[in-house]
Structure 1
Amino acid sequence: MVSNKNVFRVAYCPNNPNLCQNGGSCVNTPGQDPYYRCNCIPGYFDNACSSDEYCPNNDNPCQNDGSCENTPGTDPYFQCNCKPGYFYVTCSSDEYCSNNPNPCQNSGSCENTPKQDPYFRCNCESGFYDNICSSDQYCPNNGNPCQNGGSCVNMPETDPYYKCTCIPGYFNDTCSSDDYCEHNANPCLNGGRCISTHGIHPYFECDCVGGYFGDFCSDDRKYCSSNLVQCVKELDSRTNTCNKCYCFT
Structure 2
Amino acid sequence: MEQIPGLSLGRSLVLVFCFIQLSHALQCVNDKAPCVNNATCLTFTNGTEYCRCAAGFLGEYCQHKDPCQPGYCLNGGNCSVSMSAGVPVPGSATCTCPLGYTGQHCQTPQNSTCYPNNPCANRGVCTLLSLDKYRCECTKGWTGQRCEHEDSCLSSPCANGGRCSSQPGGSYTCSCPPGYKGPRCLNDTDECADTPSPCQNEGVCVNTPGFYRCICKPGFTGLQCESSYIPCSPSPCLNGGTCHQTSETTYSCHCLQGFNGTNCENNIDDCPNHHCANGGTCIDGVNTYNCQCPPEWTGQHCTEDVDECRLQ
Sort the TM-score into its range (normalised by shorter chain).
under 0.3
- Normalized per residue, the structure richer in strand is 2
Q: Which has the larger radius of gyration?
A: 1
State the TM-score, normalized to the length of structure 1: 0.27
